[in-house]
Structure 1
């Protein structure tokens, strides 16, 4: 009885292997092209919130494709760093403009004359 079960198991494993590998011209599991990341973020303009929300990363054998995820994260990091630098530049310019405006005299007062008297 044991020998019969062993032979039956080997026959079943061999049949499944042949079906999966494809014993002839017709393959049971056809080759499919792997999912690729297709231009997820616009290159010609800064990113918007809708662009980030629209990103759908392709799934690989063990989850997301690391290369695609790294590419998107690098792009987002570069955009955020650029925006932070621009914000700091604009805040600095605004602080400088406010400082010069506060230190400016009234144009209608004579030199040596204070505006409060």
Structure 2
């Protein structure tokens, strides 16, 4: 029976403490708003993005997952970098293909053009046998 009274008194004390803390057991001003967590080390703006930049990128967490604005900014930047590199690769491949076609075409012209010297004669003709 003593344990019951002890638990009842402890429960009343805890409920009273929580009630005082929530209702107004201190300052009457509410807590200030917490600063939202921002991306501390964004992708570099002054130079192209390198693999190490992407590997070290840590997006801040929000209430449910990541902050959408930071994720969208990072993905947009990476998409733009990839598109720029893809167009540069396509440009270089086209340039290389053109140079290769010119080199192969020029090489063929050397052999296709007639030369001043007559072509070598075919295999020597077999001597004709006298008729019997």
Task: Normalising by structure 2, report the TM-score.
Answer: 0.62
Alpha-carbon shift at residue 31 of structure 1 (Å): 4.9
Q: Runs of at least 4 residues of structure 1 off by over 6 A?
A: none
Mapping 1:1-117, distance limit 5 Å: 12=15, 15-16=17-18, 19=21, 23-25=25-27, 31-105=33-107, 112-113=114-115
Aligned length: 106
Alpha-carbon shift at residue 32 of structure 1 (Å): 3.4
Where in structure 2 are there 5+ consecutive unaligned residues?
A: 1-7, 121-132
Structure scoring higher RCO (CA < 8 A, sep ≥ 6) equals: 2
Give a deviation string over 1:42-90, Cα, whole Å, max 9, x none.
Answer: 1111111100001000011111001100100010011001111100000
Where in structure 1 are there 5+ consecutive unaligned residues?
A: none
What is the aligned-residue RMSD (CA, Å)? 3.5
* Alignment partners' CA distance in 2, 1:51 and 1:99: 39
Q: Highest Rg: 1 or 2?
A: 2
